[in-house]
Amino acid sequence: GAGVSQSPSNKVTEKGKDVELRCDPISGHTALYWYRQRLGQGLEFLIYFQGNSAPDKSGLPSDRFSAERTGESVSTLTIQRTQQEDSAVYLCASWPGLWNQPQHFGDGTRLSIL
């Protein structure tokens, strides 16, 4: 597609359940990012993927969070044993890896933990 695609757009789940969020980047973009936006706040950087390099996971909020990406395609962000504080919008962005080009964001997944 023309833009960054995220699914699902909304997810409501019970505390303790696992959730998986998906991001399809713009074709040809080598870099992919995950961000979290809590209600009324700015975006918080979580993790970055570039090509086949191993990502730096130090920005993930806890060990319940994990993220994977296969090559330069789809990425998934998984949250295990969800807690109410995980409620937020999770946004994905892709970037062509060129410093004169911006990051492009998807519409996000709105996650609500009951």
Partner 1 sequence: GIQVEQSPPDLILQEGANSTLRCNFSDSVNNLQWFHQNPWGQLINLFYIPSGTKQNGRLSATTVATERYSLLYISSSQTTDSGVYFCAVGGGADGLTFGKGTHLIIQP
Choose the binding region for partner 1 from 14-22, 62-70, 71-79, 100-108 (rule: CB under 8 A).
100-108
State which residue, 3 or 16, has the beta carbon closest to partner 1.
3
Exactly one of 22, 26, 30, 110 binds partner 1 (CB under 8 A); which one?
110
- Does 95 bind partner 1 (CB under 8 A)? Our answer is yes
Pairing of strands 31-37, 43-50: antiparallel
Name the minimum Å distance from CB 68 to partner 1. 17
Which residues from 36-65 bind partner 1, rule CB under 8 A?
41-46, 48, 50, 56, 59
If 0-12 CB within 10 Å is exposed, 13-18 middle and 19+ buried, where does residue 103 land? middle
Q: Which residues in this chain contact partner 1 in the complex, by CB under 8 A?
A: 33, 35, 41-46, 48, 50, 56, 59, 89, 91, 93, 95, 99-105, 107-108, 110
